[in-house]
Amino acid sequence: MFFLVIFGEIIHFISSLSMVLILICAYWLVPNPSFVLIYSILFKF
């Protein structure tokens, strides 16, 4: 049971970290129109 709590926390941390990385990449690559399209598709889900 305790292991599941730790596992859930790790998953939550990784997902929030990946969200931050996606945002950073978006700000870096905003001039690229194809990336903006991919970014908007990603955030619809």
> What is the tens place of the pLDDT at every residue in 1-45?
788 888 989 888 988 888 888 887 777 766 667 766 777 777 775
Question: Is there a contact between 7 and 13 (Cβ–Cβ < 8 Å)?
Answer: no
Amino acid 40: pLDDT? 76
Q: d(Cα 21, Cα 28) in Å, to the nearest integer?
A: 11
Amino acid 9: pLDDT? 92
SS3 content of the chain, % helix, strand, coil (to 5): 80, 0, 20
Amino acid 14: pLDDT? 86
